[in-house]
Amino acid sequence: HNVNLIWNFFSTGHGRGAVDGVGGTVKRLVWRGVMAKQCVIRNAYDFVQYATAVITDINIILIDAQHIKAQSSLLNQRWDGIRAIPDTLKIHYVKSLSPYNVE
């Protein structure tokens, strides 16, 4: 995992990132379609189908249960090796130094 990362946390958005804004935008636009009776969303597939039809500048994909199950053991192995960071609410800046090592 050779990833260089620097992340700044601000009190108004502590624990939230860019992905939260993107997800909120997608959900809001789909909800507008539901309220305008332009679509009926019965499941994740319907959500992705409608979202990709009305939102062209965000890449939306459906990850099915089989894919999640296939990846879950790998993800569990990664999470098992990570220790909790104490006092995360007091942290406002994080920089990756190496795998499993942050400043």
Residue 78 lies in a domain: yes
* Residues linked to residue 98 through DSSP beta bridges, in sequence order: 101
Q: Establish if 1 belongs to a structural domain.
A: no
pLDDT of residue 55: 93
| Structural domain count of the chain | 1
The most distant pair of C-alpha atoms in the chain lies apart, rounded to whole Å, by 50
Per-residue pLDDT tens for 15-64?
566 666 788 889 999 999 999 999 999 999 999 999 999 999 989 999 98
User: Domain for residue 79, yes or no?
Assistant: yes
Distance of CA 102 to the CA centre of its chain: 21
Q: Is 42 inside a domain boundary?
A: yes
The alpha carbon dihedral of 10, 11, 15, 17 has a sign of negative
- The per-residue pLDDT for range 62-103, each reduced to its tens digit, is 998 898 888 888 888 878 877 777 887 777 777 878 777 777
The angle subtended at Cα 74 by Cα 95 and Cα 20, nearest 5°, is: 50
In a domain, 71, yes or no: yes
Contacts of 72 (CB under 8 A, 6+ apart): none
- What average pLDDT does the structure give for the chain? 83
Q: At residue 12, does pLDDT exceed 70?
A: no
pLDDT for residue 83:
78
